[in-house]
Amino acid sequence: MTHPPLVFIVGPTAVGKSEVGILLAKQIGGEIISGDAMQVYREINIASAKPTRDDLTKVKHHCLNLVSVTEDFNVARFRREALKAIEDILSRGRRPVIVGGSGMYVSVLIDGIFEGSAGDEHLREQLEEEIKIQGTPALHERLKSLDTKAAAKIHAHDAKRIVRALEVVLSTKSPISKLQSQRQGLWGQYPIRIFGLNRPRVELYRRLEARIDKMFEQGLVKEIQKLSTLSLSPTAQTLIGIPQVQGYLQGEYDLERAKYLMKLNTRHYVKRQLTWFRREKRLEWINVDNESAQDIVEDIIKKISA
What pLDDT does residue 32 have? Answer: 98
What pLDDT does residue 168 have? Answer: 79
Domain boundaries, the chain: 6-113+184-201+271-305, 121-180
Reduced to 3 states, what is the DSSP secondary structure of residue 2? coil
Residue percentage of the chain with pLDDT more than 90? 68
Rounded to two decimals, the pTM is 0.81
Instruction: Establish how many alpha carbons lie within 13 A of residue 122's alpha carbon, considering only the half-sphere containing its beta carbon.
Output: 1
Q: CA of 268: how far to CAs of 117, 159, 220, 221, in Å?
A: 32, 19, 20, 22
Q: How does residue 179 score in pLDDT terms, banded at 50, 70 and 90? A: low
Q: What does the pLDDT average to over 235-239?
A: 88
What pLDDT does residue 180 have? Answer: 58
Reduced to 3 states, what is the DSSP secondary structure of residue 197? strand
Domain 6-113+184-201+271-305: CATH superfamily is P-loop containing nucleotide triphosphate hydrolases (3.40.50.300)
Q: How does residue 12 score in pLDDT terms, banded at 50, 70 and 90? A: very high
Q: What does the pLDDT average to over 89-100?
A: 96
At residue 104, does pLDDT exceed 70?
yes
Q: How does residue 197 score in pLDDT terms, banded at 50, 70 and 90? A: very high
- Domain 121-180 CATH (choose: 1.10.287.40, 1.10.20.140, 3.40.50.300, 3.40.1480.10): 1.10.20.140
Lowest mean pLDDT, pick from 33-47, 81-95, 124-138, 206-220: 124-138
Q: How does residue 115 score in pLDDT terms, banded at 50, 70 and 90? A: low
What pLDDT does residue 117 have? Answer: 46
DSSP 8-state class, residue 50: P
Lowest mean pLDDT, pick from 34-48, 94-108, 161-175, 262-276: 161-175
What pLDDT does residue 118 have? Answer: 47
Q: What does the pLDDT average to over 174-185?
A: 68
Q: How does residue 303 score in pLDDT terms, banded at 50, 70 and 90? A: very high
Q: What does the pLDDT average to over 96-116?
A: 86
Buried b (16+ CB within 10 A) or exposed e, 68-104: bbeeebebeebbebbeebbeebbeeeebbbbbbbbbe
